[in-house]
């Protein structure tokens, strides 16, 4: 099953790098239900880390713990080597962790620029700023720049209400917002779940561009082809904990499915749990 060669291992120029974000021994209980059961998590700089697992495996709870939507009962989370405790999504966001929610968290009636800056509006300088006036011009320009730099060419009119956009374009707006404000980590929850083939391809392109900037991306997905196309490492989650992290180059999709269901243990030779990924694709190489 392993298709890896010695060369692959040797190529790992970034091996030995420290993770940018970690979770150790995370536990979250809801009454009798243990949603997170001693889970670990490691995210290395610049990588795309996919998190896969069955429904109810506790992926969402893990992500909520990392983004401050829930506070774990036990365990520690570090960011840049320092321990952090998030009591709300806002606190995680202030530390540079941006989340693209499955619901996208956009206001359909508001235009694209307003949505990109929702809750973080830019104000005018000087006296006009003390009147709390919005700097609409600057926000529109920044929104335009962000969409351009992410290669989102299908959106023409930045003052268009989000409800007039297609599903893929809405996703792109949500991703652009995360890329714009995320300084440390971008987390995406099932970004391709509601999309067709072509639009899925466009979102994967966005993920590559974001990680190409050196910003690590955590991708929660059931979409195996998508996971294999963009991820550097695949974190397998089962029964509330991480059972291992595998290298997509050395396992097949059906292997991953059997790791998810527990039909097969993760063999030591494909486990890259403690190894930084090769992120030499950084800088936009195909």
Partner 1 sequence: MHRGRRGESARRLFARNPVLGPTAALVLAIVFFSLSTSTFFNIDNFSLIVQQSVVIGTLALGQTLIILTAGIDLANAAIAVFGTLLLTRLTLGGLPSAMAIVAGLVACTIAATVSGLLVTRIKLPPFIVTLGMLAVMTAVTNLYSTGTTFAVPNGTLTWLGNSLYLFGRVQFTMGMLLAALLFVVMWFVLSKTGWGRHVYAVGNEPEAARLTGIHIDRTLVSVYAVAGLIYGFAAWMALGRTPTADPNAYQTGNLDSITAVVIGGTSLFGGRGGVVGTVVGALIVAILRSGLTQMGIDSNYQNLATGVLVIAAVAFDQATRRRA
Q: Rule CB under 8 A: which residues touch partner 1? A: 89-90, 93, 99, 101, 103-110, 114, 118-121, 123, 131-134, 136, 161, 163-164
Least distance CB 178 / partner 1 (angstroms): 11
Least distance CB 64 / partner 1 (angstroms): 12
Least distance CB 107 / partner 1 (angstroms): 4
Q: Output the six-digit token pair for 212.
A: 């190409």
Nearer to partner 1 (CB atom), residue 93 or residue 241: 93
Q: Cβ–Cβ contacts within 10 Å for residue 83, how many?
A: 10
Least distance CB 212 / partner 1 (angstroms): 26
Nearer to partner 1 (CB atom), residue 79 or residue 139: 139
What are the CA-CA distances from residue 277 to residues 77, 91, 100, 248 (Å)?
20, 28, 23, 11
Under DSSP, the state recorded for 57 is S
What are the CA-CA distances from residue 136 to residues 8, 31, 173, 180, 189 (Å)?
49, 48, 17, 17, 30
Q: What is the largest CA-CA distance in the chain?
A: 67
Nearer to partner 1 (CB atom), residue 47 or residue 189: 189
What are the CA-CA distances from residue 33 to residues 37, 58, 220 (Å)?
10, 11, 22
Least distance CB 69 / partner 1 (angstroms): 9
Nearer to partner 1 (CB atom), residue 22 or residue 60: 60
Alpha carbon distance 54, 259 (integer Å): 10
Alpha carbon distance 48, 45 (integer Å): 9
Nearer to partner 1 (CB atom), residue 81 or residue 108: 108
Angle at 276 between CA 220 and CA 222, to 5 degrees: 15
Comparing C-alpha atoms, which of 58, 44, 59, 50 is closest to residue 219? 50
Least distance CB 116 / partner 1 (angstroms): 10
Q: Are the beta carbons of 56 and 11 closer than 8 angstroms?
A: no
Q: How many CA atoms lie within 13 A of 286 on its CB side?
A: 0
Nearer to partner 1 (CB atom), residue 149 or residue 159: 159
Nearer to partner 1 (CB atom), residue 27 or residue 110: 110
Least distance CB 106 / partner 1 (angstroms): 5
Least distance CB 191 / partner 1 (angstroms): 15
Nearer to partner 1 (CB atom), residue 5 or residue 71: 71
Alpha carbon distance 246, 235 (integer Å): 7
Alpha carbon distance 153, 82 (integer Å): 39
Alpha carbon distance 35, 240 (integer Å): 6
């Amino acid at each position: 099953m392993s298709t890896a060669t010695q060369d692959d291992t040797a190529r790992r120029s970034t091996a030995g790098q420290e993770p940018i974000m970690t979770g150790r021994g995370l536990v979250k209980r809801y009454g009798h239900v243990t949603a997170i059961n001693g889970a670990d998590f490691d995210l290395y700089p610049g990588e795309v880390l996919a998190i896969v697992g069955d429904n109810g495996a506790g992926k969402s709870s893990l992500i909520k713990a990392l983004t401050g939507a829930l506070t774990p009962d036990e365990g520690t989370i570090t960011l840049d080597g320092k321990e952090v405790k998030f009591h709300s999504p806002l606190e995680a966001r202030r530390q540079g962790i941006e989340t693209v929610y499955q619901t996208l968290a956009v206001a359909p009636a508001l235009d694209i620029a307003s949505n990109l800056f929702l809750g973080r509006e830019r104000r005018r300088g000087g006296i006009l700023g003390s009147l709390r006036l919005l700097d609409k011009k600057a926000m529109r320009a920044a929104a335009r720049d962000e969409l351009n730099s992410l290669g989102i060419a299908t959106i023409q009119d930045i003052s268009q209400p989000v409800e007039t956009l297609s599903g893929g374009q809405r996703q792109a707006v949500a991703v652009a917002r995360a890329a714009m404000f995320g300084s440390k980590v971008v987390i995406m929850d099932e970004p391709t779940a509601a999309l067709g083939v072509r639009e899925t391809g466009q979102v994967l392109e966005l993920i590559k561009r974001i990680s190409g900037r050196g910003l690590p991306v955590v991708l929660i997905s059931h979409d195996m082809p998508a996971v294999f196309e963009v991820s550097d490492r695949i974190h397998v989650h089962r029964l509330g904990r991480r059972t291992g992290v595998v290298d997509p180059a050395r396992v097949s999709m059906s292997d991953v499915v059997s790791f998810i269901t527990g039909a097969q243990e993760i063999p030591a030779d494909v486990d890259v749990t403690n190894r930084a990924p090769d992120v030499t694709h950084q800088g936009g190489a195909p």
